[in-house]
Copies of this chain bind each other. A is one copy, B any other.
Amino acid sequence: MQKMHGLRQTRWTPVNRMLILIGMNAALPEITTDLAADLAALPPALADHLRGIAAAPAPFGGFPGLRLLPQDPALPQQKAAALAALLARNYGAAIENRAAVAGRLADLRAELARRGLAGLIIPLTDEFHGEYLPLRAQRLTWLTGFTGSAGLCIVLPERAALWSDGRYTLQLRQQVDAGLFELLHSIDQPPTDWLRKALRPGEKLGYDAWLHTEDALKRFAAAAQAAKAELVAVSDNPVDSVWTDQPPPPLAPVVPQPEIYAGQSSAAKRAAIAAGLHQQGVDAVLLTLPESICWLLNIRGGDVKHTPFALAMAVLRQDATLDLFIDTRKLAPETLAHLGPQIRLQPPEALDAALQALGAAHLTVQADPATAGAYPLQLLEQAGARLKRADDPCLLPKACKNAVELDGIRAAHLRDGAAICRFLAWLASDAQEGGVDELQAQDKLEACRRLDNSLRDLSFTSISGAGPNGAVVHYRATPETNRRLEPGNLYLIDSGGQYPDGTTDITRTIAIGTPTAEMRDAFTRVLKGHIAIARAKFPDGTAGQQLDALARYALWQAGLDYDHGTGHGVGAYLSVHEGPHRIAKGGSMVALKPGMIVSNEPGYYKTGAFGIRIENLVAVQVEIEKAENGKAWLGFETLTRAPIDRNLIETGLLSPEEIDWVNAYHAQVWTDIAPRLDDATRSWLEAATARL
C-alpha cells in the first residue's frame, strides 16, 4: 500500500469510506425498534458497553465486541447486533452531519469564551498518534464536515480555518462551508503564518497537549509569541464538552497473540527491554504506541480500522513488570490468564496519577517525543521525573521479525497469493470487455480473500483504480468516482489482508485489453526498479534511504519519477505501515536489519491517463555471514506470490539478469501457488508465469 505524506500525520482511509462500509456491509436484521427507548430500557452499564462495541470497527460487517457483552435476558445477541449496527450508523451519520456544522462551531466558540480562551487548535489525531482514528476522536470531521485523511482546524472568535493538502483541495470545497472556515493549503499557506496574522495580542489559544508532539507545539508557540498571544494547554478538550452525542472509546476484544505466531513470550520480550532500560539507568518507560504494547504483550485488538490494535498505554519498569492502562471490558477471559501476574491492569484514567507517582519518586522515565503527545512528557517533568527523551524501545525489536514470525508471514503470503491469483484469473476472463467496475473488482478481491477463513480483516481499504483513477496515488473508489475497467486501460489494485500469522500488502497493475507502447515502456522501467531492489545485496549498516535511487534509475533515465517513497515497514499481524525503517529519499538513516519487512513498490503515474505500481513485500535476510571486509552482507527475500503482468513487460528493455529474475520469480509463484488452485485458475497461472 502506498504511504502518503499528510498535513501533520498520515491516514490511509477517508472516514466516509469507513462509514459507507459499515452502512453497506452490516447485516442488519429487520429493525422495527426504537433505538433510544431500547437503550433506555437496558441496565445503564450494559447500554454503555453496547455503545463502546458500536464505536469499534465492524470488519466484514460484524462487531467482534458483541461476544464479550455480558449475557442479559433483556438483550438477546441478535437484538444486540441490530442495536450496535444502528448505533454505529447513527454515530457515523451524526459525525458527518454537515447541516449541524454551523451550530457546532457556535457551541464551541461559546464554550471557549466560557473558558477564557480566544481559540482552539483541532488537529486530526488522537492521543495514540496512529494512522486510524476511532469515531470518538473524529473531532475535526464532527466540527467541519471534512472527511479527508489529513487536516488541521483552528477556531478563533471571528475566524476559523481548515487546512489540508493538495490531494484534498476539491474535497475541502465540496464538504466544508467556506463561509464558516477559510479553506487553506497546508504547504502554501501554513497554519503558523495564518496564526501570526489572525491572533491578537493578549489572546489565549487553547490546545489539547495529548494531540500534539512537543516539536509541533514549539512551532505553534513561536507563531503565537510573534503575535504577542499565548498558547494555553486545556485540561480537557473543549470539543468534547459541546459534542453531546460523542461516541465512547471503542470496545473491541483484546485476545492473546499465540506464541506459535509471535515466536517469543511476552515475558522474554519484557525482560529484554527491561535489561536495556537497566543498562541505560532508566527506571521505567512510558509506552504510548498501541503497536508497541500489542507486540510487547503478545495481544491483539480491534479498536481501529484494518489494524489489530488494542488502544492502551503502558509503563514498563526496569523489573519487567508493566502497568497496562486499559478498559478491562475489552479483555477476553483468556487474555487475563495470558497477561499473568506481572501485568498490573489499571483503568485508562489512572495514567495521570501513575505518572505523577513516577515523578514524585524522582525516577528516570523514558518517553518518545516523536510519537507521544506532549502531555505525558510535560506531566512527568512537572511531577519531578528525570525525563529521558528517546525512541520507543519496542520499535526496533518489533521491526526485526523472529524466525517464527517470518514463517507465519511466509505462510500468510501463500494463502494471500492464492487469493490474488484467483482474482487475477477472474480479471483476465471476466474484466477484459469493460463489464466490471472498480468497486466490483475490489469486492471480488475481498471475496477471494475471504475464502480463507483465517482472514481477520483487510489491512487497508483497497485502492482500485482504472485508467486515470490509477494515476491518483491516494485513490479510493466511491460510487461517484467509480469507473469501468475499459479495454485500453491499465488497472491498478493495491490491497492487503490481516491474517493471524501475517499482514500482507500487494499492488498489481494489469493491462485491460491491449496496452500502448508508452504503457509497456513505463511499466518495464518500474519493473526494472522493482527488480533492482529485489536483487540488491548490500553491507550491514546500509539504510533504506541509500537504496531508494536504485528503484528510480531506469525511470529517471527517461525523465520519469514517482512522488512517493519506495518502501515502508510492515508489521506481523499489526500495522501495514510501521517504522523505524523505510526505503525513501530523505529522513531516516535507520539501517536495514535481518528480519525487517519492507515493501518494494516503485511506480509511475501519468496524470489523467494511467497509474503503474508493482509492489511486493520483502524480508531483509543475511546473504553472506561475513564478507571480505568482515561485515555481514544483506539482501531481500521476496515474500509476495503473484504473477506480474507479462503483457506489460517490454522484454527488450530488460537485461539478462532482470529476465532471469522475472522467470525465477514466476517459477516460484507457480511452485508455491499452483497446488492451492482449482484447475481453471491453475491453467491461467501456468500461462501467467510462463518464461519470458
A interface residues (Cβ-Cβ under 8 A, vs B): 532, 535-539, 542, 545-550, 552-553, 556-557, 559-561, 563, 585-586, 589, 606, 623-624, 627-629, 631, 633, 655
- Contacts A532-B553, A550-B550 known; A559 to B655 CB distance under 8 Å? no
Task: Report chain B residues within 8 Å CB of A633.
Answer: 556, 559
Given contact pairs A559-B627, A561-B539, A628-B560, A548 touches B546 in the complex (Cβ within 8 A): yes
Minimal Cβ-Cβ distance residue in B for A589: B586
17 example contacts (A-B, Cβ-Cβ < 8 A) are as follows: A536-B553, A536-B556, A537-B557, A538-B556, A545-B545, A546-B548, A546-B585, A549-B549, A549-B550, A550-B550, A556-B633, A559-B623, A559-B627, A560-B628, A561-B627, A606-B628, A655-B655
Q: Which residues of B contact A538 (CB under 8 A)?
A: 549, 552, 556
- Bound complex: CA of A592 vs CA of B537, how far in Å? 26
Q: Which residues of B contact A556 (CB under 8 A)?
A: 536-539, 633
Q: Which residue of B lies closest to A546 (CB)?
A: B549
Q: Contacts A586-B589, A589-B586, A655-B655: A537 and B549 contacting too (C-beta < 8 A)?
A: no
Q: Which residue of B lies closest to A656 (CB)?
A: B655
**Residues of B with C-beta under 8 A to A546:** 545, 548-549, 585
Whether A559 lies near B589 (C-beta < 8 A) is no
Closest residue of B by beta carbon distance from A547: B549
Beyond A536-B556, A538-B549, 12 additional pairs, beta carbon < 8 A: A535-B557, A542-B549, A545-B545, A546-B549, A546-B585, A556-B633, A559-B627, A559-B628, A560-B628, A561-B631, A563-B629, A606-B628
Instruction: Give the nearest-CB partner of A560 in chain B.
Output: B628
Residue of B nearest to A626 (CB): B559
Within the assembled complex, what's the spacing in Å between the Cα atoms of A465 and B561?
42
Contacts of A628 in B (CB 8 A): 559-560, 606
Q: Which residues of B contact A549 (CB under 8 A)?
A: 538, 542, 546-547, 549-550
Copies in the complex: 2
| A560 to B539 CA separation, bound complex (whole angstroms) | 9
Residues of B within 8 A of A553 (CB): 532, 536, 550
Tell me how far the C-beta of A526 lies from the nearest C-beta in chain B, rounded to whole angstroms. 15
On chain B, the residues within 8 Å of A532 by CB distance are: 553
Asked whether A559 and B547 contact (CB < 8 A) given A532-B553, A586-B589, A589-B586, the answer is: no
Whole-angstrom distance from the CB of A650 to the nearest CB of chain B?
A: 15
Cβ of A586: which chain B residues have Cβ within 8 Å of it?
589
Residue in chain B with minimal CB distance to A539: B561
Min distance, Cβ A188 to any Cβ of chain B, angstroms? 15
Residues of chain B within 8 A (CB-CB) of A552 are: 538
Residues on B with beta carbons closer than 8 Å to the beta carbon of A539: 556, 561
A585 vs B79: C-alpha distance when bound (angstroms): 62
Contacts of A606 in B (CB 8 A): 628
Nearest opposing residue in chain B for A558, CB measure: B537
Which residues of the partner chain B approach A548 to less than 8 Å between Cβ atoms?
A: 546
Q: How far is the CB of A534 from chain B (nearest CB, A)?
A: 12
> Which residues of chain B come closer than 8 Å to A589, judged between CB atoms?
586
Question: Do residues A537 and B550 form an inter-chain contact, with CB atoms below 8 A?
Answer: no
Q: How far is the CB of A535 from chain B (nearest CB, A)?
A: 7
Assembled-state Cα–Cα distance A536/B549 (Å): 10
Distance of A15 from chain B, by nearest CB (Å) = 30
Name the B residues within 8 Å of A627 (CB-CB): 559-561
Return chain B residues, CB-CB under 8 Å to A561.
Answer: 539, 627, 629, 631
Chain B's closest residue to A631 (CB) is B561
Chain B residue at minimum C-beta to C-beta distance from A549? B546
CA distance A557 to B633 in the complex (A): 9
Which residues in B have their C-beta under 8 angstroms from that of A547? 549
Residues of B within 8 A of A585 (CB): 546
A277 to B589, CA, bound (A): 33
State how many angstroms separate the Cβ of A455 from the closest Cβ of chain B: 37
CB-contact partner of A559 in B545, B550, B557, B624, under 8 A: B624
Q: Tell me the minimal C-beta distance from A627 to chain B in angstroms.
A: 4
A561's closest neighbor in chain B, by CB?
Answer: B539
Chain B nearest CB, measured from A435 CB (Å): 33
Min C-beta distance of A606 to chain B, whole Å: 8
8 nearest A-B pairs in the assembled complex, by CB-CB distance: A559-B627, A546-B549, A559-B633, A538-B556, A559-B624, A537-B556, A655-B655, A537-B557
Q: List chain B residues, Cβ under 8 A from A560.
A: 627-628
B contact residues around A655 at 8 Å (CB): 655
Closest to A655 in B: B655
- Nearest-neighbour CB distance to chain B for A527, whole angstroms, equals 16
Contacts of A545 in B (CB 8 A): 545-546
Bound complex: CA of A550 vs CA of B548, how far in Å? 10
Query: A5: shortest Cβ distance to chain B, in Å?
Result: 15
Determine the distance from Cα of A532 to Cα of B554 in the docked complex, in whole angstroms. Answer: 11
Please, which residue of chain B has its CB at the minimum distance from the CB of A535? B557
Give the distance to chain B from A200, nearest Cβ to Cβ, in Å: 25
Residues of chain B within 8 A (CB-CB) of A559 are: 537, 623-624, 627-628, 633
